[in-house]
Amino acid sequence: MGNKQTIFTDEQLDAYQDCTFFTRKEILRLHGRYHELAPHLVPMDYTNDPDVKVPLALIVNMPELKENPFRNRIVESFSEDGLGNLSFNDFVDMFSVLSEMAPRELKAIYAFKIYDFNVDNFICKEDLEKTLNKLTKEELTPEEVNLVCEKAIEESDLDGDNKLSFADFENMISRAPDFLSSLHLQHLSDTLIQNDLQSVVTGTVPPWSNSGLNVYLRDTMVVSRT
Amino acid sequence: VKNERNPKAKERDTKRKLEIHKTTEQKTENKKRKRSHSKQRGKRNIDDEDKGGEQISKQKKNRKNKKTKKLLTEEAEGEGYITKQKKKRRPQVDEENANATKQMTPEGPPKKKKRAKVSESEDSSSEKESSEEEEWKVTALTPEELEKLKEAVDEKKKLITILRGKPWPMLKKLQTLKESHDFLEKFEGALGKGKAKKLYAYKVMMLKRWMKFQRDFENFKTACIPWEMKIKDIESHFGSSVASYFIFLRWMYGINMILFGLTFGLVMVPEALMGKPYGSMPRKTVPRAEQASAMDFAVLWDFGGYAKYSVLFYGYYNSQRAIGWLKFRMPLSYFLVGVGTVAYSYMVVIRTMARNANEQGGGDDTNFNFSWKMFTSWDYLIGNPETADNKFASITTSFKEAIVEEQESRKDDNIHLTRFFRVLANFLVLCCLAGSGYLIYFVVRRSQKFALEGLENYGWWERNEVNMVMSLLGMFCPMLFDVISNLENYHPRIALQWQLGRIFALFLGNLYTFIIALMDEINLKRKEEETVKLNMTVWMANLHNGTLAENSTAPPITADPADVPRGPCWETMVGQEFVRLIISDTMTTYITLLIGDFLRAVMVRFFNYCWCWDLEYGFPSYSEFDVSGNVLGLIFNQGMIWMGAFYAPCLPALNVLRLHVSMYLQCWAVMCCNVPQERVFKASGSNNFYMAMLLVILFLSTLPAIYTIVSIPPSFDCGPFSGKNRMFDVIQETLEMDFPAWFGKVFSYASNPGLVLPFLLLMVLAIYYLQSTSKTYKKANAELKKKLQAQNEENKKKNKRAALKASDPEEARNSASEQQWHQINNNASKKEMDTWGCKN
């Protein structure tokens, strides 16, 4: 108990619970994750709301976000300065909105922000092209990209201005069957790699396991060789 | 005008109330004061109403007119009002008003802009707020103000509960929360007077405690959900489809826990503690002939010997009406638990289905094919590079497919060939199904022959032939189907559904052949029972004769219960069959897991160093996790539990054990020997598909169970219903013996066909009504959709015409509001559908 209270006061925890979809334990765990990102920067004691921000480059490397093609946009749209530096509040906010419990409307608002690359409050063709290229790792030909973007705009543009406003976007996304589950980020107690290391060490996963650590090691080795 | 006016008028009123007590003079205040005076006058008028009717009504009318005029003018001012405040900034009063307005405004889209403005101004005012509030408290409060204050407090409370859903940055949320908490602290106490005040304060305190308790409980509950971390781990490595299997497994585990609790707590434990002990009567004793081998492991493993004559099976239970000092009604409890298990399962499955249906948006719209692909195809849960690569590839191919479909450049030349192949594939699958059905029937027949000749003469294979054949079929036929389905060249999603449907048919066919064979066996046993009954009377007569010859005064029949001849007890036989089936099924699942996944992974991993081709990416490779097959296995396993639980109360316990073990085993196997699927599907769409299958299985598995309960008389010398004509007679008996006479009468009236038939008719009518209303909703929906599309077309034309101008905001708003209406309708119709589904 004493350990917990050095991080947050009870009031703070209650307030965070009121403002997010998390339980007390999860908030503490989130703080742990946040602290892990920059141990020298983030203090363990948050009782007096220190003004600390972690830069984008560190956050993007979290295992939850590392594989996500939109990681930069996600972090940017949750940062208060728009540059991608997250305070702890923003950090909690991000995980709260992208948690399982968040309602569809809330997710739609932030999804719109994420996909609006040039922050002009419209998703225009440029944004769509960027989205598509990130999704397919630029494996489609320019003609195909063009076709897909045009079709997408044609489908969901209601007011005919050749770009998607939030109303258009919400109308489209609110009927998507798997939107809720797709915009859902998880947070783990430890990073994946640590988990794998631990399980290899303790023997719960044999070292020939093809998942997790091995793949990670293999990939990093390949990258470093090339 | 009226509708618009009402909320605004309310605002004004509240403002006025708040301002009355201020000593500072203001222009607006004067106006309002006058009005409040007029209102007081109005009160007096109402008092005098008896005296001069007409005059007063005229006055009233005048006043009303004045009021509306005033309001209208004020409304015109109103737009500028708040902005003015902002500019002035000086008067505390105004700022407080702003706060008040904020609290009063109901949540609604038309007010949004205004609220945003107000909340901006509110931030600046927060500092001064506290001093104002103290001033406020001093003044005495009239009842009306109290009302308003109460409303404000409620509004704040509401704000706190919905705060987490607001799209604000966290800092603002925290601030608002703090402010609302402060506000509540200050004013909750002010409500109520004297005793009422105390009571109110007490209430508030209790409410706070209750909220705290609820939150703690919620925290506790989430902490209690088992295997959360394990599943999250798997989710991040393999995507949500594999995780969905484990979530389903956990859900099953929960249900089985409850079933286990029911049977264990209400049937097994009471019989074991309060019933007659082992060896006290024939049905509770191992017969003399079997006693020598009753403790052998092979016998126990087959659930024979001591296991057969224990609380684990139907036959052990005594038909004594009430047992122990608690007068526990054992047979009744047994019956009700059997019925309750099924009823509970139905309830849970249907409830989950309804909830799932609610969560899924109206996904039937296919107009947004590309947009959805673009914005929802990435699974944010993916945290593993390999899975991510697969996902990128699958997204790219899906886009390419969609583009090809869009261009409609599909070659038609080989469509006849694919059709031919599809027909051929279906023919082959049908052959497989028929063959497997025949094989099972053949094997069951053979096993009956063995059983008649005595199992002791045969080896292990002959004894377990049926189960082994069923498990092997369940293992190899799906692989065969998989090969056959390559012929068909379907889209993988459709192919998956075909595959699921085929495996489902296979399992179902197998299960039902098994049940039919079991029915044959039951009939055989019942014939045997008749002969045993005859023998029994002869044996009794012999016994009597013997004892009479020795001792004529006391005729206590003291035969050892092990020597008493007994019937075959078909119920226990059925229970045993099911238990054996479950055990062998579990074993095959685990063994295939170990051989098919683990050994394969080990081989591939280590032989790869000294092999001529790449084993990891070449032919054997690592295995993928087969979600559909595993889910189906789970569903059928559950079906067998539901079927057999009545005759073998130990089945839920066994199943809980099985699920527990497979949770750990499969989690481990997935993490260490499987690779992510090549085509990563998202799971959410198919969740209700699984549930629907579960419901079908539940229905199909309760059918035979109910048939046996209702139409076959129970064995004469074993089980809780021995001596009765039918099992459900136990209800009748309870009604007669344990309830007053009038209750029985009422019950008999209620079960009269004259009452039941009209009731059924009413239900049918209600279903019909709900269905037709949902149909009309659907129609209205379609119509609205059409209108919307037409409007869009029109819009687009207009925009083309006025090429450079921006789109007309009026039109856009119209279409937006219409959409809202459309959505509301949609929701309503969905709700109807749900209720309809529940009734059904």
Say what the pLDDT of residue B18 is. 46
């990073």: which residue's tokens? A191
pLDDT above 90 (res A161):
no
Instruction: Answer whether B800's CB lies under 8 Å from B735's CB.
Output: no
Mean pLDDT of B66-72: 45
**Does the distance separating the beta carbons of B178 and A15 come in below 8 Å?**
yes
End-to-end CA distance of chain B: 45
How far A47 CA sits from the closest chain B CA (Å)? 14
Highest-scoring range by mean pLDDT, B137-141, B211-215, B645-649:
B645-649
pTM of the model: 0.65
Backbone phi, psi, residue A87, to 5°: -80, 170
Instruction: Answer whether B303's CB lies under 8 Å from B576's CB.
Output: yes
Instruction: Answer whether A54's CB lies under 8 Å from A91's CB.
Output: yes
pLDDT band at B260 (very low <50, low <70, confident <90, very high): very high
Radius of gyration of chain A (CA): 20
How far B365 CA sits from the closest chain A CA (Å)? 7
More confident residue, A226 or B98: B98
Q: Residue B214 carries which side chain, given as an amino acid letter? A: Q
Instruction: Answer whether B663's CB lies under 8 Å from B250's CB.
Output: yes
Q: B-chain residues within 8 Å CB-CB of A180?
A: 359, 361, 684
**Tens of pLDDT, residues B674-700:** 887 765 555 445 567 788 888 999 999
More confident residue, A113 or A4: A113
Say what the pLDDT of residue B477 is. 84
Minimal CA–CA distance to B514: which of B462, B476, B473?
B473
Say yes or no: A146 contacts chain B, CB-CB below 8 A.
no
As for the ipTM of the complex, it is 0.76
> Average pLDDT, whole number, for chain B?
74
Given its phi and psi angles, is residue A54 left (phi above 0), alpha (psi -120 to 50 degrees) or beta? beta
Say what the pLDDT of residue B140 is. 58
pLDDT band at B268 (very low <50, low <70, confident <90, very high): very high
Given its phi and psi angles, is residue B489 left (phi above 0), alpha (psi -120 to 50 degrees) or beta? left
Cβ under 8 Å to A: B residues 595-654 = 601-602, 605-606, 616, 622
- Tokens at B639, concatenated: 């079906």
More confident residue, B50 or B622: B622
pLDDT above 80 (res A34):
yes
- Tokens at B649, concatenated: 């109360």
**Does the distance separating the beta carbons of A158 and B165 come in below 8 Å?**
no
Say what the pLDDT of residue B815 is. 52
Rounded distance, CA B697 to CA B458, Å? Answer: 35
Backbone phi, psi, residue B675, to 5°: -110, 155
More confident residue, B232 or A203: B232
Minimal CA–CA distance to B571: which of B440, B697, B705, B451?
B705
Mean pLDDT of B484-507: 77
Instruction: Answer whether B746's CB lies under 8 Å from B787's CB.
Output: no
Say what the pLDDT of residue B837 is. 45
Q: A-chain residues within 8 Å CB-CB of B163?
A: 18-19
Minimal CA–CA distance to B370: which of A141, A69, A131, A160?
A131
Say what the pLDDT of residue B629 is. 80
Positive/negative CA dihedral, B153, B157, B163, B169? positive
CB contact set of B727 (below 8 Å; sequence gap of 6+): B335, B709, B710, B714, B721
- Neighbouring CB atoms inside 10 A of B323's CB total 20
Q: A-chain residues within 8 Å CB-CB of B377?
A: 135, 182
Rounded distance, CA B438 to CA A222, Å? Answer: 55
pLDDT above 70 (res B449):
yes
Mean pLDDT of B61-72: 46
Q: Residue A23 carries which side chain, given as an amino acid letter? A: T
Partner-chain residue, chosen from B218, B383, B684, that has the shortest CB–CB distance to A192: B383
Burial-class residue B505 by CB neighbours within 10 Å (0-12, 13-18, 19+). middle
Highest-scoring range by mean pLDDT, B69-78, B369-378, B631-640, B787-796:
B631-640
- Max CA distance (Å), chain B: 122
Say what the pLDDT of residue B117 is. 42
Coil, strand, or helix at residue B67? Answer: helix
Residue B830: alpha-carbon gap to chain centroid = 17
Minimal CA–CA distance to B177: which of B156, B206, B191?
B156
Minimal CA–CA distance to B127: which of B157, B89, B155, B82?
B89
The full DSSP string for B553-579 is S-------TTTS-----HHHHHHHHHH
- Tokens at B30, concatenated: 């004067």
More confident residue, B505 or B143: B505
**Does the distance separating the beta carbons of B365 and A151 come in below 8 Å?**
no
pLDDT above 70 (res B432):
yes
How far B363 CA sits from the closest chain A CA (Å)? 5
pLDDT above 50 (res B105):
no
- Tokens at B214, concatenated: 């609820």
Q: A-chain residues within 8 Å CB-CB of B621?
A: none
The one-character DSSP state at B379 is -
Partner-chain residue, chosen from B173, B403, B685, that has the shortest CB–CB distance to A177: B685
**Tens of pLDDT, residues B167-208:** 888 888 888 888 888 887 777 666 655 566 677 778 878 888
Partner-chain residue, chosen from A106, A140, A176, that has the shortest CB–CB distance to B361: A176
**Does the distance separating the beta carbons of A68 and B799 come in below 8 Å?**
no
Alpha carbon separation from B233 to A194, B240, B679 (Å, rounded): 12, 11, 19
How far A121 CA sits from the closest chain B CA (Å)? 15
Rounded distance, CA B295 to CA B293, Å? Answer: 6
């630029």: which residue's tokens? A138
Rounded distance, CA B730 to CA B27, Å? Answer: 84
Say what the pLDDT of residue B777 is. 92
Q: Residues of chain B with pLDDT > 90: what percent?
A: 13
Side-chain-side CA neighbours of residue A164 (13 Å)? 28
**Does the distance separating the beta carbons of A205 and B672 come in below 8 Å?**
yes
Say what the pLDDT of residue B119 is. 43
- Tokens at B452, concatenated: 């008649």
The one-character DSSP state at A187 is -
pLDDT above 90 (res B221):
no
Rounded distance, CA A27 to CA A23, Å? Answer: 6
Say yes or no: B213 contacts chain A, CB-CB below 8 A.
no
Rounded distance, CA B315 to CA B318, Å? Answer: 8
More confident residue, A226 or A113: A113
- Neighbouring CB atoms inside 10 A of B393's CB total 16
Cβ under 8 Å to B: A residues 183-202 = 183-186, 188-189, 192, 195, 199
**Does the distance separating the beta carbons of A148 and B403 come in below 8 Å?**
yes
Alpha carbon separation from A35 to A31, A41, A47, A92, A132 (Å, rounded): 6, 8, 14, 12, 34
Question: Mean pLDDT lowest for which of A25-39, A191-205, B384-398?
Answer: A191-205
Instruction: Answer whether B151's CB lies under 8 Å from B103's CB.
Output: yes
Beta bridge partners of B328: B323
The full DSSP string for B664-722 is HHHHHHHHHHEE--SS---SGGGHHHHHHHHHHHHHHHHHHHHHHHHHSPPPSSSSTTT
**Tens of pLDDT, residues B269-320:** 999 998 888 888 888 888 888 888 888 888 888 888 888 888 899 989 988 8
Say what the pLDDT of residue B369 is. 75
Alpha carbon separation from B642 to B124, B344, B463, B637, B721 (Å, rounded): 65, 11, 24, 9, 20
Say what the pLDDT of residue B224 is. 81
More confident residue, B835 or B762: B762
Say yes or no: A69 contacts chain B, CB-CB below 8 A.
yes
Say what the pLDDT of residue B294 is. 83
Three-class SS of B218-255: HHHHHHHCCCHHHHHHHHHHHCHHHHHHHHHHHHHHHH
Q: A-chain residues within 8 Å CB-CB of B823?
A: 174
**Tens of pLDDT, residues A130-145:** 888 888 888 788 888 8
């160093």: which residue's tokens? B609
Instruction: Answer whether B637's CB lies under 8 Å from B585's CB.
Output: yes
pLDDT band at B801 (very low <50, low <70, confident <90, very high): confident
pLDDT band at B95 (very low <50, low <70, confident <90, very high): very low
